[in-house]
Structure formats: C-alpha cells, structure tokens
Structure 1
C-alpha cells in the first residue's frame, strides 16, 4: 500500500497530458496500454485465473466487484474496506507510470483464484490464458448506452484521449477510432471465440440490470460455485449501483486523474440513457451503421429492458 499511496501522490501532483490514439496491431491504442506490451504478451496465466474481459464502459467494475464478493467476500472481508478494486482486480495491460503496471500487480496477487481484467480484443489476449484453459467472464453492453458512457468517461478521465464534442465522439465510435478499437469487432470476436472455447461465459449488461439473481445463478453455475441464498443476497446487495457508487473502494474516487466535478466514474448505470443524448438524426445514422457492421453475426442486443 506504500507504493499505492506514492502512486496516488504522484497522480495529484503530475496530471498527465491527454494521450494520442495510434494504430497498434490494427487496433487504436494509446501508449498507456502498449508501453508494457512485452510483459503483457509474456504474462504467465495460471489454470485457476479468471479473466474479466469487456469493451470499456460495459460493466467492468461491476462484474469485477461481483466476482470479488463471490470469492472473497466472506473469507477476506477486509479486502472490501482496505483495498481499492483496481488493486484487487488489476488491469492487465495498463501502465499509467504512477501506479505499478497491471502485469506487476497481477503477478503479486496473493489470492487464488486471481481475478484479472482486460479490455483487449480477443486476438491480443496473452496466449497463456488459452494455454492454461482459464475461465473468462465477458460482459457486453449495447452500443448506444456504451458510447454515451464512454463519452462521459473520456470527458472526466485525463488518461483518455480528448473526447471533443458529442457529435464528433459518436462519429469516432462508429468509425472504430476508440481506445481498444471498434465496439463492433470487440463484442463479435469474443462472441465467436465463445463458440469454440467452452470456458467463456458471455454476459449482457442489460440482462444483469433486468434480473441480477438469474444472472448470478448462471455465473455461479459456470464457475462451479454454490453459494447459499444468504451469500447471493449479500453479493447482489453489495453490487447494487448506488452502493458501489458510494463505496470509495469501488468508485475510483481515490484516483485524482479522474475529475469527478466533470462526471462521476459511476454515472447512472441504466439501460436506455442513450435516448437522453442521441438526436433523431444521430440515431438514424447510428442505426444504419450498426446494421451494416453487425449484419454477419447472430449476436443480439437490447437497447431497453
């Protein structure tokens, strides 16, 4: 924790300049996710590791917190009050300089299983995760809510590229010029991987909002866990949006690089908020692009519940 405090001190005194996007193995990236690339690619997964994979702003922290509660909520409850979620569930490819790189935090995790998160598209995931046949929990969120959430996130997060206005941002999203590449490619390539890899559990943000009890049962079944009704209730309660938003160990408020005066890290957590942002013209254009880009997949999303 001394390292962490040092890191947070540096964050407060040396706010980084906004990074620029560049093409990296065919995917838009910033240096924060490529500077440590050699160590990311050579990362040694263990057979019981659980990889949490998502496109940015698709419920990553939510599912991370749920898994952490499921595995360690009873055996190590002090984790929930003493360690921020980003130290319990390290962000594998991240290298923000002022905190230890994600690979280093993951290597030092004392837990079994290790919970590790990534936003990498499936083709860039370190091969040891496949060699060790690790379980992967993937969460996908409908494109319209995802882009709105991503826009507000980029406005308040200084380690993201400058978002520009919402119209330009929407265009960039449709063009796939986002950190970690196009949403369309990300969700569909992970969906395709699931068809050939039995250890991927593919979840939908909208389903989790609609019925968390049902989704938790499916998740536990995939993980081979059988928590009591009381334990499940505790996980559902702990991971409710308002509880997490007010929890300093879950809401990223300890990282001053995020300007909560612009927007909180956890903003609304709703399905259908895109209706408050899209104009009629934007919605029509988006729908047209969406049909073209998603025409070759059977992956279906809901934009309301």
Structure 2
C-alpha cells in the first residue's frame, strides 16, 4: 500500500508498517498488535481503538461459541461446520463469516446478534469480551502450518480491495509474516499469546484443532467438535456435515451464494475468494529451498518452547 492511498480521516490512527520498498498495511497498533483500520461505513463515526476496546465489555450468552484463529487457518471452514452442527441442518450460511466476526461487530453488534451464536475472531484472548473467561465460553482454536498460512494470507491480501491490499511480492510478505508488522501480528506471537492467556484463564473450555487434521480426516474432526460442544449428533449426520463442508463444495457456495459483507472485499479483476486451493503443502510452490530454510530458522527459534507440532506435507 502506498502512503497516497491512506484515507485522510484516519491518518492519526495509522502506524507505519512499510518496508524499504514502501509496501505495508492499512493498520494501527493496539495492545501490541497491528489491526486493520476499518472503512468509515463500518466505523460509524467511532475511533478504531474505541470500537476494539468496546468488545471487552460485550455481554455474552452462556451458550455462545467462539472460533479463535490466526488469519487463513480455516476459520470459514470450521464456522460452517459448527453452524451445521448447532442448527442440526445441512444448510450453508448465506452470509460470510465476517458478519459474525467480533472485531467487525464490536460491542453493539455482538450483543445484537440473535441466538444461537457462533462467533469468530483473529484477536488474542485478552482483547475478547471479559465474559469469555467469566462465563467459561467454549472456544475452539484452529491452527495451520505457518508456511501454508503465509501463502494463503499473501494471496488474500494481494487480491483485496485497496487500501487493504498488499502491493509487495511474496518474499517481502514472508518477511512481514515473520515480524510483528502485519495485520494481527506475527503468527508465532499469536499462538504463544493464546497458549499463555488460556493457561491464565483457569478452566476456560477450549479445543485445539489442526487444519491438516480436518483435511486428512474431516469426519473424525467433525465428531470431535460435536463432542466438545456437547451435541448429540449422530455419526451419519457428522459424515453428512463433513461432506457438505468439503473444500470443493464450500468453494462453490462461496462463489454462488455468499453475501452480507458490508463493504467491497475484492479488487476488480482479481477473482478474489476465501477459498483458493485449501491444500496441505502448497507452500512448496511458493518457497524456494533457501527461503524455506530461512523461514524455518526464524520460526523454530520463536516456537521452540511452544510444544506445537505442524504437518507440512500430506500424510
């Protein structure tokens, strides 16, 4: 993003994330994390930081469910699965998951959402409603290997409508991905924060899932989610949900019926979609051997004490 694309209304809120080539993101920094500056029609006259802070005070329902994930780790996919399990139907949601995204809704939007409610967020636990911990709201964290997540995030931001698009190349983006100067911060920091903040929450019901497990054995993953949520879903229904939420079918639904996003998401001529390939190991088509090795050195240094083990190639 060039500096000339900055909306003058938010100049005071923007932090400089640009690299030496002038490429960066339309973000401000809050509580140690870079966040997108929402467009005026979503801010509704409020300051970005005020909207984010309002989330902490939102009133939650005891049966609320929250999907917590770093961008491009399977949030859309898991959200659709849970919506079907909770509703007991195989009906796909017509809206995009951003209509249930806490950082877009803020306090008023969260509280106005009718039950049953399946929210999602890319924010760390400390920025979520205080009642997540107080009411022991069920949270599901879905994780994806960082190289595929990096590739997917790059393609997403490359195709996004200005000023939210990324104009740098993949090498530049990878450098940003490993740093903190990227929307929602670095993936490694996000994972470490999630682990530490859940541990401090004492008794918060959480389920950790992996994108690669959902891909390799979707039926088992759907059953695991149903058990965690305490739903009396039959084996047959879980199998049907897994089939209805296959990548091929979800991509078709995204192209043919999804709507509800309050602003224009994708740039003209880009053919943007939330579902690109959905493969395990597509990163090999993007990283050179040298780039992959450099990525590993930085990532492994940051994550050596995390205990998180990812799958990088199909089993």
Pick the TM interval, shorter chain: 0.7 to 0.9
Shift of 1:22: 2.9
Shift of 1:198: 4.5
Shift of 1:19: 5.9
Structure 2 SS opposite 1:56: coil
| TM-score, normalised by the number of residues in structure 1 | 0.83
- 1:232-247 to structure 2, matched below 5 A, reads 232-247=238-253
Shift of 1:222: 0.9
2:31 to 25, 30, 42: 25
**Is 1:177 matched with 2:186?**
no
Mean Cα deviation higher: 175-184 or 247-256? 247-256
- 1:1-305 to structure 2, matched below 5 A, reads 20-32=26-38, 34=49, 36-74=51-89, 80=92, 83-86=94-97, 90-94=100-104, 101=105, 103-112=107-116, 114-158=117-161, 160-195=164-199, 196-248=202-254, 252=258, 255=261, 256-259=264-267, 261-262=269-270, 263-305=272-314
Shift of 1:30: 2.2
Contact 1:73/1:80 (CA < 8 Å) preserved in 2?
no
Query: Could you tell me how far apart the structure 2 residues matched to 1:250 and 1:271 are?
Result: 25
Query: Could you tell me how far apart the structure 2 residues matched to 1:250 and 1:201 are?
Result: 32
Query: Could you tell me how far apart the structure 1 residues matched to 2:26 and 2:140 are?
Result: 30
Structure 2 SS opposite 1:70: helix
Structure with greater contact order relative to length (CA < 8 Å, sep ≥ 6): 1
Structure 1 SS opposite 2:29: strand
How many residues align? The count is 279
Question: Cα RMSD over matched residues?
Answer: 2.6
Query: Could you tell me how far apart the structure 2 residues matched to 1:70 and 1:249 are?
Result: 23
Query: Could you tell me how far apart the structure 2 residues matched to 1:163 and 1:300 are?
Result: 32
Contact 2:136/2:204 (CA < 8 Å) preserved in 1?
no
Where structure 1 has 5 or more consecutive residues not aligned to the other structure, the ranges are 1-14, 95-100
Once the two structures are superposed, what CA deviation does each residue of 1:110-157 show, in whole Å capped at 9, x if it has no partner?
222x11111002222221111111000110111000000000000111
Contact 1:252/1:265 (CA < 8 Å) preserved in 2?
no
| TM-score, normalised by the number of residues in structure 2 | 0.80
Structure 1 SS opposite 2:276: coil
Instruction: Quickly say closer, same or farther: Cα 1:109–1:249, change in 2 above 3 A.
Output: farther
Where structure 2 has 5 or more consecutive residues not aligned to the other structure, the ranges are 8-23, 39-47
